[in-house]
């Protein structure tokens, strides 16, 4: 059964720093991996989707990588800003779970001004 | 336009009421989803419609009844709910349904906050 883990559960860094959020999964039989952000009391915003055949995707200051063989993905945020404060969730679309997303518990990120 | 619109944003209902949550997308997406999210937890899948047919029902109690009137609309009818059903209900959509899962970015709405009293 697929399990997705995000470490750390919470992270607080000063503004301007580059940072990395981690996501690991136990079964490499996935269609894709998606990173989302969720602001308090709000819905989820899709940030990046990496298909299983891809190694990375970039959008602005965000870069997500995927290493299926080691079951890992990272979300790199460059030059962090207070507006980046949110909870970041990763989710994999697993081949064995009827196209459902399997979610990590999220990393709560706080960027201090 | 990558917008999924949900109404109402907030709903308070009694345990004997009947109400509905509504979701709309105009991106031409053929898969639409209902998720339930409790505080500080990831979303839990409830229902999936693919090409307007119910494809997945994750053993959700019958007091929740989904409906997909057309390819742009998704409703969730609520009846005789319990206080433990209070949560954020999220609607989502993706382009290709189950025929092309690899490139299926899933877009979420802002959610409907439901409180059952």
Chain A contact present for B51, CB below 8 A? no
Given a cut of 90, is residue A97 above it in pLDDT?
Answer: no
pLDDT one-digit tens code per residue, B71-99: 899 999 999 999 999 999 999 998 866 55
Chain B residue closest to A52 (CA)? B102
Of the two residues B105 and B7, the one the predictor is more confident about is B7
pLDDT of residue B98: 56
Q: What average pLDDT does range A60-88 have in this prediction?
A: 97
pLDDT of residue B1: 58
Chain A residue closest to B105 (CA)? A49
B89 C-beta neighbours (distance < 10 Å), count: 23
Of the two residues B101 and A74, the one the predictor is more confident about is A74
Chain A contact present for B41, CB below 8 A? yes
How far apart are the C-alpha atoms of B36 and B45, rounded to whole Å?
7
pLDDT of residue A41: 86
Of B2, B41, B111, nearest to A43 by CB-CB distance is B111
Q: Which residues of chain A from 44 to 103 reach within 8 Å of chain B, CB to CB?
A: 44-46, 49, 51-53, 89, 91, 93, 98-101, 103
How far apart are the C-alpha atoms of A59 and B75, rounded to whole Å?
33
Chain B residue closest to A29 (CA)? B102
pLDDT of residue B102: 63
């Amino acid at each position: 059964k697929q399990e997705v883990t995000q470490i750390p559960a919470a992270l607080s860094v000063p503004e301007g720093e580059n940072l990395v959020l981690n996501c690991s999964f136990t079964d490499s039989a996935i269609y894709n991996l998606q990173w989302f952000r969720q602001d308090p009391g709000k819905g989820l915003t899709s940030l990046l989707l990496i298909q299983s055949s891809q190694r990375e995707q970039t959008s602005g200051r965000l870069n997500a990588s995927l290493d299926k063989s080691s079951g890992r993905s990272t979300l790199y945020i460059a030059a962090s800003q207070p507006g980046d404060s949110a909870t970041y969730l990763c989710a994999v679309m697993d081949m064995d779970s009827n196209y459902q997303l399997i979610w990590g518990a999220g990393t709560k990120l706080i960027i201090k001004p | 336009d990558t917008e999924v619109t949900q109404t109402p944003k907030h709903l308070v209902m009694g345990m004997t009421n009947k109400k509905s949550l509504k979701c709309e997308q105009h991106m031409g997406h053929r898969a639409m989803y209902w998720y339930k999210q409790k505080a500080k937890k990831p979303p839990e899948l409830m229902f999936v419609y693919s090409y307007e047919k119910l494809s997945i029902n994750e053993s959700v109690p019958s007091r929740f009844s989904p409906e997909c009137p057309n390819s742009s609309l998704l409703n969730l009818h609520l009846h005789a709910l319990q206080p433990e059903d209070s949560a954020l209900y999220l609607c989502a959509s993706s382009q290709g349904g189950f025929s092309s899962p690899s490139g299926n970015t899933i877009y979420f709405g802002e959610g409907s906050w439901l409180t059952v009293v």
